[in-house]
Structure 1
Amino acid sequence: MSAHTPRLPFRPAKLALVSGEYPELADSLKRQGITPIKTLFDSRLPAPLGYHPDMQVFLFEREAFVLRKSALQDKLSSLGLSVKETIRQPESRYPCDVLCNGFVWDKWLVGNPQTLDAGIQNAAQAKGLELLPVRQGYAACSVALINEKACITADAGMAKALEAKGFSVLKIRPGFIRLPGYDTGFIGGCCGKVSADVLAVSGRLESHPDGKAIRAFCESRGVSIWELTQNPLIDVGGILPLA
């Protein structure tokens, strides 16, 4: 993994954390030689988000934070990751459900400091990361990282904050991503990098009206799109490379 950005693997991922709710995603990963680590349902989270990796896990380099008393702790520890627990326990209503919902990008911890768990923030500070504060509590869900300098989001506030730090942002129209129980899902929740030059997405990219622009933005940066299914895009809580 890259020095500071665990969501941007520089070699093909051998393991990836993926929602246990959609077996077809795990099957697609397996066929390409990636071992899927499937999440279990966490009943403390809102039911539509109970399987989502980006609601259950925050990744640092070689280290993960999981929700306090999470069933994932032993599973991730067995893979050789250093695993710590959040200080707080999640609750089923926002903002108490988004304790892990932020991400590391280069030297930054990107997230809402009011909602991101204090244990994660303290660990980031100890690692020398700087806080890039945003208002969006679903920070990890709302951004798809493409490479060290480029991302995609439909969130205007996230785009403004990231562009101010020199990142290149493709702003897309909000909506058009399924998330049962909610009006819409997020672009970051339906994809994840599985190697330096491949972005895996949960369904057909062209089911989004900006699908062609997304594909062109990625391909202009040497990143190809791997559609795991031929269904419309659905927010599955992201696909997180682990090794």
Structure 2
Amino acid sequence: MKYLKFPNIPESKATHVLLDKRAYDKFIYALEDLGIKIVICESCDDLYPAISSHPDIFYFHYEDNLIFAAPNSPRKTTEELKKLGFNIIFGEKAVLGKYPEDVKYNIAKVGTKVFHNFKFTDRIVAKRIEEDNLQRIHIKQGYTKCSILIVNSNAIITSDKGIYKKAIENGIDSLLISPGFIKLEGLNYGFIGGCGGLISKNLMAFNGDISMHPDYLSIKNFLKKYDIEILNVAGLQLSDIGSIIPLCQQ
């Protein structure tokens, strides 16, 4: 078992993933059939129900075995991450209430580039990004990781026009898709980054059926360009579960 050099981009088959406890049962079974162990993200009452157990709200996997976590991240989940050998560094502020108090750790690191609305980034996390001299790409969308499906260290899929524009400007291949068509209980819709994630270098998993999305062919062809196949749950609407986060790999 090894850690990932870059978050969300395994170089081999994932052995452990972090998932919202509300992921489809069929999706969990599909991952388990591949021999992948699931770390369940429990809920926190400090947040509104739709995102109260979303892992990308509480945790920002920074590199290797380093994870930044909200001080009020679910204790049981954090302990499970520690058991896997992760170094958990708690940020300065808890995630609370509604936007923007809930997006302090919802950051997308794409290779060595970091996307976020840096007005809202937790101070401790922002300091580490600055110390490591990573390229910061400031965007308006605070729900950044939710909005970005990371394909590799230089390619993403998003429905956010602002993110798409900034990605292209910074030399990142980007596919812009239609917003919506992804459910998120209590809200109008969820995001593409929140319902998917790589579980190996060449396999993208979706919590739901990506073929039901109106831009399926564009998504499929974009992934195919990078030799990535698709694992999904046939017949179930895509559901935003706060990202599928690969933790460890073979």
Superposition TM-score, scaled by structure 2 size: 0.93
After superposition, give the CA deviation of every residue in 1:173-219 in whole Å (9 maximum; x if it has no partner): 11111111111100000000011000000111121100111011101
The size of the alignment, in residue pairs, is: 242
- Once residues 28 and 91 of structure 1 are traced to their aligned partners in structure 2, the CA distance between those partners, rounded to angstroms, is 33
1:141 aligns with 2:146: yes
Q: 1:23 Cα deviation (Å)?
A: 5.3
Opposite residue 14 of structure 1, the aligned amino acid is T
| Other-structure match for 2:38 | 36
Which residue of the other structure, out of 197, 202, 206, is the alignment partner of 1:192?
Answer: 197
Are residues 1:222 and 2:227 paired?
A: yes
Query: How far apart, in 1, do the equivalents of 2:206 and 2:72 lie?
Result: 30
Deviates more, 1:144-153 or 1:190-199: 144-153
Aligned equivalent of 2:52: 50
Using a 3 Å threshold, how does the CA distance of structure 1 residues 229 and 206 change in structure 2: closer, same or farther? closer
The CA deviation at 1:90 is: 1.3
Unaligned segments of structure 2, at least 5 residues: none
| Superposition deviation, residue 229 in structure 1 | 5.1
Query: How is 1:97-176 mapped onto 2 (pairs within 5 angstroms)?
Result: 97-176=102-181
Cα-to-partner distance string for 1:73-105 (whole Å, 9 max, x where unaligned): 222111101101121011111100111101211
The percent identity for this pair of structures is 29
Check if 1:64 corresponds to 2:67.
yes
Q: Once structures 1 and 2 are overlaid, which stretch shifts more, 123-132 or 95-104?
A: 123-132
Q: CA RMSD in A?
A: 1.3
* Paired residues of 1:29 and 1:228 also in contact (CA < 8 A): no
d(CA) in 2 for partners of 1:228, 1:100:
28
- In structure 2, what is the equivalent of residue 27 of structure 1? 29
Q: Which AA in structure 2 matches 1:117?
A: D
| Corresponding letter in the other structure for 1:148 | S
Q: Tell me the equivalent position of 2:16.
A: 15
Q: Is the 8 A contact 1:111 1:139 kept in 2?
A: yes
Counterpart residue type for residue 97 of structure 1: D
Give the distance between the partners of 1:199 and 1:92, measured in 2 at CA. Answer: 32
Q: Distance in 2 between matches of 1:73 and 1:2?
A: 18
**CA–CA distance in 1 between the matches of 2:92 and 2:177?**
35
Residues 46 and 97, structure 1, Cα contact 8 Å, conserved in 2: no
Greater relative CO, 1 or 2 (CA 8 Å, sep 6+): 2
Structure 1 moving runs of 4+ over 6 Å: none
Counterparts of 2:90 and 2:80, CA distance in 1? 13
Greater mean deviation of Cα atoms: 229-238 or 37-46: 229-238
Q: Distance in 1 between matches of 2:148 and 2:156?
A: 7
2:125 alignment partner, SS class: helix
- The correspondence for 2:95, drawn from 90, 105, 109, is 90
Q: Which amino acid aligns with 2:49?
A: A
Distance 1:59 1:23 in 2: 23
Give the secondary structure class of the aligned counterpart of 2:14.
Answer: coil
Gaps of 5+ in 1: none
